[in-house]
Structure 1
């Protein structure tokens, strides 16, 4: 099972549209996971239409910019994909202590996908909980590149986690 992970798309505030490379990956993925800060309902509608399965949550900017998103999306989402227990949330707090804090908050999960910081993150908490932040495909902030992640779920395991850099916007 092929996964596509993204967060913090901020369309149309930070970009007019999602990058074409990302939309190509949406079509290839079995499951698309979005960890919040969509900012507009059009992006949610687009990903729902183009995805085989979409799992998403709302972020802090979704409350301000697009209240209808909060009505359509949960704060935390849970899914079992191929025997791997996933959670999705927008914010996890400051980087310091993140692993212990998330392991305590989500003891039942194997993988937690989060966003908010726009900083890619891949770590393991307490030798069991994988923490993944795909960064942002549209707003790199202080990062060198806009990013997203892909991964595979096979035989009850998460494998092939890869961070993808997007070319600079013109």
Structure 2
């Protein structure tokens, strides 16, 4: 399974960017979409999309967090990095900082952030990520520059 992970679009994305996600089995957006109409071109790809609410949305159309299971792994999706996570979660995906992240904590939980596709921060390039899940293989996380 190949998942395109994006965050912090803030109503803007590069021209033709959605077309780069065509090979995805799913799209996960980690918040700060802002206006829901921003996602129309992504939704037209007809790829299942999971979206969490960011801190810049003026609506409550999406949940603050999602717990998903893919390939036998439990994932926790949220916008702002959480202080606490459910004990059975193995991978936390978040946005908010606009900086890519791939770290494993002392409990073995992996923390991932795809960065930001439009307004990178702290010297990080504009980015998004591919998350690849294959049975019997380690999770693969690849940051992709916009």
Q: Which stretches of structure 1, 4 residues or longer, exceed 4 Å deviation after superposition?
A: none
**Residue in 2 that maps onto 1:73:** 62
8 A Cα contact 2:100 2:124, kept in partner: no
TM normalised by structure 2 equals: 0.89
Q: Answer with 50-59 or 116-125: which moved more.
A: 50-59
Cα RMSD, aligned residues only: 1.9
> Shift of the alpha carbon at 1:47?
2.4
Name the SS for the 2:56 alignment partner.
helix
CA distance in 2, matches of 1:38, 1:132: 18
Instruction: Give the structure with the higher percent helix.
Output: 1
**Residue in 2 that maps onto 1:92:** 81
Name the SS for the 1:24 alignment partner.
helix
> Shift of the alpha carbon at 1:19?
4.2
Post-superposition Cα deviations, 1:16-39, rounded to whole Å, max 9, x if no partner, equal: x4442x312321100111100001
**Residue in 2 that maps onto 1:160:** 140
8 A Cα contact 1:109 1:129, kept in partner: yes
CA distance in 1, matches of 2:39, 2:138: 25
8 A Cα contact 1:29 1:51, kept in partner: no
**Residue in 2 that maps onto 1:136:** 116
How many pairs does the alignment contain? 146
8 A Cα contact 2:97 2:121, kept in partner: no
What are structure 1's unaligned runs of at least 5 residues? 94-100
